Amino acid sequence: MDGKDVSPAPRTVDLAVGETLTLVVTSDHDDELHVHGFEVEGALVAGKPTSVTLTGKEPGVYEVETHEPPLRLLKIAVR
């Protein structure tokens, strides 16, 4: 990310109920990571990979985003 772009491009990742997914996010600036529906938030430190492990609990489609600037990184479809 360069504060405006997301790489790889945002897409939807399928996750079965009960399945786990580990996201590794690296930002080029300090920011905050937010995973809707899982109610997970975490600090992003510039240049340092941040890992978050999620478990699909409730079916639905949930966004993973940063806050400053607001960027969608991906969607997680729990089925």
Q: Which residues touch 48 (CB under 8 Å, ≥6 apart)?
A: 26
> Model confidence over 30-61: pLDDT tens digits?
999 999 999 889 899 999 999 999 999 999 99
Distance CA 27, CA 51 (A): 12
pTM: predicted TM-score of the whole model, two decimal places: 0.84
pLDDT at 14 over 70: yes
Q: Which CATH architecture has domain 12-78?
A: Sandwich (2.60)
